[in-house]
Amino acid sequence: MDQYASTDPIYQSKPVPGRICRVLIVIVSMLLGSMTYSQDDPPSIDSQLDQLAIPPSQLPRCFGLSDIVEPRALAVCDALNLKLNVRARELAENWVRAEPNSPASQFALAEVLFTVEANMPRALFHLNRVEELTNYTTLVDAFASGNVQWHYLALSQLSYVHQLMGDQLQSLQYLEKINEIYGQEVESLRGWPLIKLKEFDLARISANLVLQNSEDERERSRAWNTLCAVELASLQPIESMTYCNRAIDEEEGAALLNDYDTVYLSNASEVSLSLLEMEQAEDYLNRATRYLNPDSVADPWIYKLYITMNQGRFDEARTALDRMLVWRESQNPIVAVMNRAEHFLVSASFLLLAGYAEDAIRLTTTALNQPDRNGSYSADAAQKDAIAALLNMMANRAEYQIQREKIATMDLTDSLRPRIAATALQVDGWRAARRAASLFADFEVLQSRLRPYSPLDVHVPEWVEPELIALMGTGVMSSVLEQANANGAFQLNQGYYYAYRAEIAALESEPEQTLAAGERALAELPQQEVLLKARISARMAAALWELDQHADGLAQYELALQWDPSIIRRLASSLPVTFNGDGTDFAGQAEKYLAASPRFRRDTNGFILEITATNDLSVCLKSRAGNSLSCYNLAAAESQSSKWNSQQLVQQFHTETFGLGYDISKAQRSMLLGSSVYLNAQTDTDIQQSKEAVLDR
């Protein structure tokens, strides 16, 4: 999974807790003269609550309150409720121009900027202005001013905005203000900022206080969620999912129809993964995908895509990608800025496997360059940048290999421009590698990364994590690996430990140790770790070839290609082949291009690479027994030369052999980058069909 997510509501100010409503009514009654008190001996608010009959409110809510009667505020709320977002912005801006010193006008504009446009810095500016214009220190002062609602709402929203923008201390300070001035119990909202600050002991104390004192199901659910996250902070796997399951149980009891928050199920799925309970993890996600929730920061299709990719279930991964786009299109703006990096990075991972490395570069670059609001995730911005830089490095290197494959089919003069572009890719890959190394350069961070499915960090797919070894150096990673092993990081499955040992041995050119560790890893890893096993098989194949064990080496190469066709390209490796042409000029030309490719090397003990031009033009990669591993046929273009036809055939053969074979349209790849414009009518139809499929689940 990606990161452990907060269950805090998207808008803390909606709805106002029942105790606050009661306090408002009591104080209003006092100010109207229905109750009297002396300054020397004011009555207790609680002592008056039971004497007051409170009729059920029939007023519509505005900004979460039912007692706002300001016409301009109601007009803004009406526009927001009707999704007339431009109109809401105009009304709020006009109000601020007319009454710049009105706390109500400043809050209304802040709310539009926050909820509709997700423009947190500008919303924060106007919320700070509300605080400047109110700045009350007591409940009596707040009510006497006539701006009590706006003061309370501003404090509440200031706490949440600071949380999302990463300033957890400020978030806690505003929660404390709410408690001091309004007497509202905010303990259940303190847990997540404390988790973000890594104050796990304080977070545990806070959560236990909530469980001891609160009967509110949502507050209790947040508390159980906090305890679940605290348990996950250890490098060792937790012993049970009791806390996490209690969070789900409490939330299910509190949820209204079609108002279930997928965060709890996504978090439970992540915990299950950290316990290597793969099927249970996917079951939680399948439950979460039944709810198309625009307010939820947890998009279950992101995590479903990660799981299906890890397991080599590429058809299901392709479907999950489509469903993920539907979910993203339905999200409210404030949610979209919180998890957009997740969408970019998981999409880049899939495109990297599918052979669209150039698009993966754009996605990872965007994730690096755009600030993400990660206050609802346990991971921080540095972790997001670290994995984005790592994937960006991999994408640049993969695209460099793709360009080398194309250059192999070109004459020197035609290849000059592509060679320059390829050099630029090398430089960009090196820069991304340096950036990733600097962000990962912490002993504790690396230890946590090595734990399988480390739950409180940004998710690095298990098939990607071995890249850290070459990035940080085999000596450093050997030390980190042994320390992590001693600390219990691999106690649930030692196969992951041996997978790292095999990678280290391969990079240090120690074939015997590569084979010994690789065999242990393949035997002990969960069967679902298909892509990680493909990497190990590719490393073992190279080691076997170095030891002249050709038959076993070919068997491992076959497994690697079967599990992950892109692995040979991503490792900048090559397949041993012997050419078998039909003697035509076309076959000779194609053989020359294939022999120059970085993906193939001549070897009499290798696979058979068969080239024919009998009917259609054809290239087939076959086992020594004649079984087809990858074939591509091309109808010859009569108007083109034999050279042109052979170039097209060889280039397409590379695409089919070392990719997933999915034709992802330019329109959809643009949508993955967040484009709101559909490039053709077919895309609209596809999205609508996908949305209907989601809603039918």
For 63-76, write each residue's pLDDT tens digit: 988 888 899 999 99
pLDDT at 222 (0 to 100):
83
Q: Which residue has the higher pLDDT, 697 or 620?
A: 620
Please write down the HEC assignment for all residues of 650-678.
Answer: HHHHHHHHCCCCCCCCHHHHHHHCCCCCC
In DSSP notation, 514-525 reads HHHHHHHHHHHS
Please report which confidence band the pLDDT of residue 532 belongs to, taking 50, 70 and 90 as the band edges: very high
326-385 pLDDT, tens digit each: 888 888 887 777 788 888 999 999 999 999 999 999 999 998 887 656 656 566 677 788
Q: Over 70: is that where the pLDDT of 152 sits? A: yes
Backbone angles phi, psi at 431, to 5 degrees: -65, -45
Section 420-446 average pLDDT: 91
| Distances from the Cα of 119 to the Cα of 69, 82, 89, 335, 691, angstroms | 27, 20, 12, 12, 27
Hey, is 622 helix, strand or coil?
strand
Q: Which of 62-66, 599-603, 635-639 has the highest mean pLDDT?
A: 599-603
pLDDT at 376 (0 to 100):
60
CB atoms within 10 A of CB 101: 10
Taking a C-beta distance cutoff of 8 angstroms, is the pair 258, 292 a contact?
A: no
Q: Over 60: is that where the pLDDT of 25 sits? A: no
Prediction pTM value: 0.82
CA dihedral 506, 508, 514, 517 (to 10 degrees): -110
What's the length of the chain? Answer: 697
- Arithmetic mean of pLDDT over the chain: 83
80-133 pLDDT, tens digit each: 999 899 999 999 999 999 999 999 999 999 999 998 888 889 999 999 999 999
pLDDT at 450 (0 to 100):
87
Q: Which two tokens stand for residue 521?
A: 């890893």
Please report which confidence band the pLDDT of residue 50 belongs to, taking 50, 70 and 90 as the band edges: very low
Q: Over 90: is that where the pLDDT of 651 sits? A: yes
Q: Over 90: is that where the pLDDT of 559 sits? A: yes
Q: For the ranges 639-653, 658-672, 676-690, which has the lowest average pLDDT? A: 676-690
Q: 17-24 contacts: CB < 8 A, separation 24 or more?
A: 17/184, 17/185, 19/183, 19/184, 19/185, 20/152, 20/182, 20/184, 21/54, 21/57, 21/66, 22/49, 22/52, 22/54, 23/139, 23/182, 23/183, 24/67, 24/148
Q: Over 60: is that where the pLDDT of 12 sits? A: no
Please write down the HEC assignment for all residues of 180-215.
Answer: HHHCCCCHHHHHHHHHHCCCHHHHHHHHHHHHHHCC
Nearest to 452 by CA among 272, 314, 316: 272
Q: Which residue has the higher pLDDT, 452 or 507?
A: 507
pLDDT at 247 (0 to 100):
66
Nearest to 593 by CA among 406, 400, 408, 401: 408
In the 8-state DSSP scheme, what is residue 606? S
Section 449-463 average pLDDT: 81
pLDDT at 86 (0 to 100):
93
Q: Which residue has the higher pLDDT, 58 or 474?
A: 474
pLDDT at 259 (0 to 100):
44
Q: For the ranges 11-20, 454-463, 581-590, which has the lowest average pLDDT? A: 11-20
pLDDT at 118 (0 to 100):
85
Q: What is the number of H-type helices and E-type strands within the chain?
A: 33, 5
> Domains plus CATH for the chain?
1-184 (1.25.40.10), 362-570 (1.25.40), 575-657 (3.30.160.150)
Q: For the ranges 10-19, 425-434, 545-554, which has the lowest average pLDDT? A: 10-19
Q: Over 90: is that where the pLDDT of 598 sits? A: yes
Q: Which residue has the higher pLDDT, 653 or 234?
A: 653
Q: Over 70: is that where the pLDDT of 691 sits? A: no
Residue type (1 letter), 43: P
Q: Over 80: is that where the pLDDT of 673 sits? A: no
pLDDT at 306 (0 to 100):
94
Q: Over 90: is that where the pLDDT of 409 sits? A: yes
436-447 pLDDT, tens digit each: 999 888 887 888
Q: Which residue has the higher pLDDT, 641 or 359?
A: 359
